[in-house]
Structure 1
Amino acid sequence: MIKFFRKIRQQLLVQNKISKYLFYAIGEIILVVIGILIALQVNMMNEQRKENDFEIKILKEIKGNLLTDLNEISEDIGLMDDINKACLDVKQHLQTLDQPTDSFSISSSILRVTPHFSPINSGYNLLQSHGVRIIKNDNLRNDISFQYDMLYPYYKTYEEERSRFHALHSEPQLLDYFSMYFDKTKDPSFYGLYFEISLEDYQKLKSDSKFLKLITAIAFENKTIQDRAKRVEASINALISNIEVELEKKE
């Protein structure tokens, strides 16, 4: 093609047709510029397609992470329901019965349970490593950043406070009265954890006002965190829905 244009230019020069030559040269330059612009446009479209594909990949991974997080936080909320009920059962048992029962041992063992939420951050870490601006939707990008940079860490501080409370207060008093065993084959049991208490220790426990206060404190700590967990659960559900809407637009 280049040889063809060069041949035409040479013929015009030989024929001394300067005006036609200049007109042709300008036209040739315009064609070259148009070719360059088309190439740049094609290249830009390819880059945009790659960015769009990568954005879809990240959004799908984040959605997958959130679905796993949702299952875990929902299970934790269920465990916290068990803890709330156990606090009521143990308190009522101590106030109304003169000796321990299997149900009392089960409920007492549940008082030791402290659910721990461990969100998966692989999708968000991938997003951060390539720059959050990959997510073109400003609102969605802000929602994702808030979920991982604010909401999850904020919830973690509540879990850490409960862990400190448990280590300093709950665990020592429980160990004063109960013997703990781990046996998945033993029935009844709570996730393999089984509590036993002697009749003598049970009688002491009934008259221990500090233990009744401890049960109230455990219930308060648990309910506070459960309320936070439900907010996290609602936020995860909303973010999953927003990501699904965005993916439908892009796919």
Structure 2
Amino acid sequence: MALSVVSLTWITLLEYDVLFDRDLLFFIFFASISGYNFVKYFGIVKFHHRRLASWLKTIQVFSFFCFLLMFYYVFKLQVETLYFIVGFGVVTFFYAIPFLPKYLYLDGKQNLRNVGGIKVYLIALVWAGVTVFLPIINSDYPINVDIIITGIQRFIFVIVLMLPFEIRDLIYDSLKLATIPQKIGVKQTKIMGVILLFLFFVSEFFKDEVAYRNIVVTALICFVTSLFVIFSKKEQGKYYSSFWVESLPVVWLLFWLLIN
């Protein structure tokens, strides 16, 4: 997951010919690991801290060192970038920490993660912000119409990436979560994914600067991603979503590096 977030950030640097920013990419890598493990394992550690399994203790130690490295690299970034980071840090914190009033939360869980219908959009918003606007702000690059379109594209792309996960989790998710497949069904979810990818591709032509390489790379990643959406199902292989779908941003980056 962390490599995928870094890949999407690197793609932004390539697309706008921004100098390679190693410190930013390292910060995003370690922040992604720290944030993901915090969200995923906070509840488990909270209720079972006295008898944690050895694998969970290992994850805790690993996450701690990643957090320290994140803290080291954050001071190498622009001051303006830090304000932006704080905003997304707050969202990540409340994504896992209970704070909502009882009439909004599900199954006794008072965090943003369990508010019906917003999970996928919240994740897409954070990913789009971190991988598009963070590198742009840190590089003092002006935010223009093209940047905003790229942010919208990234938001759409991450939503599409989430669809195979939501289809897989149909048998586990509470109906109160109101995920996209729960609301419209698997077939309609796949159709929605393909339509979103079409919009993602077409929006490339609305940018002020339309480059042939961008069109080719966008078409390639849309095609590959659409196949994964179309062939996703509830009974997936262990690595279908958790590895192959999640690695699509890395594939997208490889397309970019090959074209360049």
Tell me the TM-score normalised to structure 2 length. Answer: 0.22
Tell me the TM-score normalised to structure 1 length. Answer: 0.23
> Rg: which structure is higher?
1
User: Larger helix proportion, structure 1 or 2?
Assistant: 1
Higher relative contact order (CA 8 A, sep 6+): 1
